[in-house]
Amino acid sequence: MHVLILGGTAEARDLAGLLAADPAPGWRVTSSLAGRVSTPRLPPGAVRVGGFGGAEGLAAWLTGHRVDALVDATHPFAAAMSLHAAEAAARTGVPLLALRRPGWTPAPGDVWHDAGSLTEAAGLLPSLGRRVFLTTGRMGLAAFAALDELWFLVRSVEPPGEPAPSRTEVLLDRGPFTLAGERGLLRRHRIDVVVTKDSGGAATAPKLLAAREARLPVLVVRRPPPPEGVRTVTTPEQARSWLAHCTP
């Protein structure tokens, strides 16, 4: 049974590992990575890197490589790829499952502000603080580029490109992060507001705990809605169970 995992997340790697460790059903797993990170963490099994050329290209790949099941385990904000996956699955009849880690929810003591997009977040930001810890990834900095009156600490895995805010310090780092480390980072850089996407998961959650302790406002960009009609699970174990019932 050939399974294509649209990956790049910890959940995708964990699912590939579960399937690789369970050879009884005869899994053949291919993980697809977008290629935006030069040194990605590779999952077990076969790996392809790069785009497919939209929904049509993905549909052709599914057919040409005789894929029996498709798992969309991309980042919760990879809306275009998720839409392409839904369209390609509909064209080919390949069963599709979305694997999404649960989003974060505020707890007592949190000072959260919601935004529907990076652009909306940039509009709200000047009213919340002046020294910003920006953890939304390197691809969306253009939304904040005009905020010259603010200072930004930008953390990303790869160096960000232009345009970017004029007063920016870049911190190249990759999670998981610790609560002690996040406490120290906020203190050293005198951060007074945190900006994040609702990515969910434990690897980057300590920044939210550190912000809660310091009573800092956190600007949270909400997730885009998933494609309609796609079944969704939240754990690799649930995805593996679903795959066990997808007999080709």
Asked if pLDDT for residue 23 goes beyond 70, the answer is no
Give me 189's structure tokens.
């850089």
Side-chain half-sphere CA neighbours of 171 within 13 A: 17
Query: Rounded distance, CA 60 to CA 76, Å?
Result: 24
Asked if pLDDT for residue 151 goes beyond 90, the answer is yes
Query: Rounded distance, CA 106 to CA 112, Å?
Result: 7
pLDDT of residue 116: 94
Q: What percent of the chain has pLDDT over 90?
A: 74
Query: Rounded distance, CA 45 to CA 23, Å?
Result: 12
pLDDT digits (tens, 9 = 90+) for 111-121: 999 999 999 99
Task: Report which of 9, 20, 70, 1 is spatially closest to residue 42, judged by C-alpha positions.
Answer: 9
Domains of the chain: 2-102+225-244 (3.40.50.720), 111-221 (3.40.50.1980)
Query: Residue range 141-167: average pLDDT?
Result: 92
Query: Rounded distance, CA 198 to CA 215, Å?
Result: 19
pLDDT of residue 53: 93
Asked if pLDDT for residue 138 goes beyond 90, the answer is no
pLDDT of residue 44: 87
Asked if pLDDT for residue 161 goes beyond 70, the answer is yes
Asked if pLDDT for residue 8 goes beyond 80, the answer is yes
Give per-residue burial for 130-161: e unless 16+ CB within 10 Å, then b. Answer: eebbbbbbbebbbbbeebeebbbbbbbeeebe
- Please tell me the least confidently modeled range out of 34-43, 70-79, 232-241: 34-43
Query: Rounded distance, CA 247 to CA 32, Å?
Result: 22
Confidence of residue 203 (pLDDT cuts 50, 70, 90): confident
pLDDT of residue 247: 64
Cα dihedral 148→153→154→156 (10° resolution) = 170
Distance of CA 207 to the CA centre of its chain: 16
Confidence of residue 207 (pLDDT cuts 50, 70, 90): very high
Contact 227, 82 (CB under 8 A): yes
Q: How many residues does the chain have?
A: 248
